[in-house]
């Protein structure tokens, strides 16, 4: 029997890689797409991976419960991956209420649609290392206390706990993946890795002279999205639902991540990097470092792509894109 997956956030970075992964496994893939005036470019990431014709795009919105109920009735999914969110931390101070409506309450909408229409379906919630926020332990695991530091992180914490609650209250097979930062050539341009690789490619091609960033002392545990979507799927293949940290176990400053990008094209970071207070945040998460021991032991998951490999892949993809333009 062909398995059916329903993915919210299918037009985002992870939605694209997860679609490709599930299609390779023989799944029928359906995705929720919100209506916008830019329909036609919504599937640009799926097109980059060459899978846009293999997925069904369905009209819905995380803030509209009736649309989600209708889609779950229509698709009859075996697995539901809730990846949709207002996912940019910096924007969450500009749009805190929208962030709460989509990134927090939106999770309850998806869970309700599953509970009412397809309670046997397995559910994945895209939780985040941002929930740890103000660091309390050297390496964060599933038992580390949370201390969110942005409206986004507060919303994600709600999404995490409502997932745990629906598992405990209604017996749903609902798992929460606490994923640390993961990137790729399909990363949104507003996030720091992609901003850096795009900026370095532009400087290399003579299109720009400088790269303006905020807090380059922040440390992140960066992995590749392609590795991380595999962990999402593995969680839903387990007999019992659970929560898992997904991380590399290595942390790097924004500054050192930039160095990888600049040196890949033979440029000196000090000649081009400018610190711009406009990119500092009202509250910062200084250090994130995950402990993926549980995912390794129970899921047999391990990352395969290093930060160096990933940043070089991203710079090369940006160079190729800019040369085509
Ligand atoms: P993206 O920002 O690339 O994608 C977000 C997706 O959500 C897009 O498809 C977007 O659609 C969709 N979306 C936003 N609002 C709505 C809405 N109201 N209704 C329906 N869809 C909506 O995120 P990523 O792919 O990077 O991340 C996937 C998930 O994982 C997110 O929930 C994110 O918060 C979480 N996460 C990400 C991490 C990372 O490092 N990437 C780490 C930990 C968690 P549109 O194309 O129309 O904008
Ligand atoms: P983050 O990712 O907030 O960790 O959330 P982002 O790449 O935006 O920031 C990482 C760190 O870099 C610092 N930084 C800058 N960030 C951006 N975007 N732009 C800059 O110019 C800049 N300069 C310095 C930031 O201050 C921060 O410390 C991502 C998202 O994908 C979330 O959805 C996800 O939950 C978390 O990762 C885990």
Report if residue 194 sits inside a domain: yes
**13 and 150 co-located in one domain:** yes
**Tokens describing residue 249:** 């176990």
Q: How many domains does the chain have?
A: 2
Q: Clarify whether residues 279 and 159 are in a common domain.
A: no
CB 126 within 8 A of CB 183: no
CATH of the domain at 284: 3.90.25.10
> Residue 23 sits in which domain range?
4-182+223-246
Instruction: Measure 83 CA to ligand 1 centroid, in angstroms.
Output: 5
**Considering only CA atoms, which residue is closest to atom 8 of ligand 2?**
191
Same domain, 8 and 68: yes
Atom of ligand 2 nearest to the CA of 85: 33
* 35-71 confidence digits (pLDDT tens): 877 656 778 999 999 999 999 999 999 999 999 999 9
Do 129 and 198 reside in the same domain of the chain?
no
Of residues 290, 53, 305, 44, the one with CA closest to residue 181: 290
Mutation choice for ligand 1 from 83, 90, 176, 191, CB with most ligand atoms inside 8 A: 83
At a CB cut-off of 8 Å and minimum separation 6, what does 133 contact? 146, 147, 148, 149, 150, 153, 285
Co-location of 106 and 123 in the same domain = yes
pLDDT of 39:
59
294 in a structural domain? no
Residues 28 and 146 in one domain: yes
Our answer on whether the CB atom of 157 is closer than 6 Å to any ligand 1 atom is no
pLDDT at 97: 98
97 plus 173 within the same structural domain: yes
**Binding site membership of 85 for ligand 1 (Cβ less than 6 Å):** yes
Same domain, 51 and 196: no
214 lines ligand 2 (CB under 6 A): yes
pLDDT for the residue 258: 98
Angle between helices 254-264 and 307-324 (to 10 degrees): 50
pLDDT digits (tens, 9 = 90+) for 93-119: 999 999 999 999 999 999 999 999 999
254 lines ligand 2 (CB under 6 A): yes
**Residue 231 shares a structural domain with residue 256:** no
Confirm whether 297 is domain-assigned.
Answer: no
Verify that 24 and 159 share a domain, yes or no: yes
Q: Is the CB of 99 under 6 A from ligand 1?
A: no
Q: Note whether residue 298 is domain-resident.
A: no
**What is the per-residue pLDDT for 136?**
72
Q: What is the CATH number of the domain that holds 175?
A: 3.40.50.720
Say if CB 140 and CB 288 are below 8 A apart: yes
Q: Is the dihedral of CA 206, 209, 214, 219 positive or negative?
A: positive
Q: Is 174 in the pocket of ligand 2 (CB under 6 A)?
A: no
Q: What are the average pLDDT values for consecutive 10-residue runs of the chain, which has 325 residues? A: 97 98 98 80 90 96 98 98 98 98 98 98 98 89 97 98 98 98 98 98 98 98 98 98 98 98 98 98 97 98 98 98 94
pLDDT of the residue at 119: 98
Q: Which residue has the least CA distance to atom 33 on ligand 1? A: 87
94 and 117 assigned to the same domain = yes
Same domain, 283 and 161: no
Q: Is the CB of 315 under 6 A from ligand 2?
A: no
- The atom of ligand 1 lying closest to the CA of 152 is 34
In ligand 2, the atom with minimum distance to the C-alpha of 254 is 12
């Amino acid at each position: 029997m062909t398995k059916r997956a329903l993915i919210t956030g299918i037009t985002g970075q992870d939605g694209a890689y997860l679609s490709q992964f599930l299609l390779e496994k023989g799944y029928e893939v359906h995705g929720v797409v919100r209506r916008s005036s830019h329909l036609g470019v919504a599937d640009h990431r799926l097109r980059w991976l060459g899978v846009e014709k293999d997925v069904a795009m369905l009209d819905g919105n995380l803030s509209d419960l009736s649309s989600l109920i209708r889609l779950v009735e229509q698709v009859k999914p075996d697995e539901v991956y809730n990846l949709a969110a207002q996912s940019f931390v910096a924007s969450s101070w500009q749009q805190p209420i929208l962030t709460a409506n989509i990134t927090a309450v939106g999770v309850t909408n998806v869970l309700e649609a599953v509970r009412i229409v397809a309670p046997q379906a397995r559910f994945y919630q895209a939780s985040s290392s941002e929930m740890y926020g103000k660091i309390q332990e050297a390496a964060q695991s599933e038992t580390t206390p949370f201390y969110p530091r942005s409206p986004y992180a507060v919303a994600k914490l709600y999404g995490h706990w409502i997932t745990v609650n629906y598992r405990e209250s209604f017996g749903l097979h609902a798992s929460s993946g606490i994923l640390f930062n993961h990137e790729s050539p399909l990363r949104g341009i507003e996030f720091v890795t992609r901003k850096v690789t795009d900026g370095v490619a532009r400087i290399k091609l003579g299109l720009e002279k400088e790269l303006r960033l905020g807090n380059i002392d922040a440390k992140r545990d960066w992995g590749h999205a392609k590795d991380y979507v595999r962990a999402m799927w593995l969680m839903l293949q387990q007999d019992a639902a659970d929560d898992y940290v997904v991380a590399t176990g290595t942390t790097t400053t924004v500054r050192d991540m930039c160095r990888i990008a600049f040196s890949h094209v033979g440029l000196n970071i000090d000649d081009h990097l400018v610190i711009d207070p406009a990119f500092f945040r009202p509250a910062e998460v200084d250090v994130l470092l995950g402990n993926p021991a549980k995912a390794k032991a129970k899921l047999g998951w391990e990352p395969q792509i290093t930060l160096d490999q990933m940043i070089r892949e991203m710079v090369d993809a940006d160079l190729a894109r800019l040369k085509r333009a």
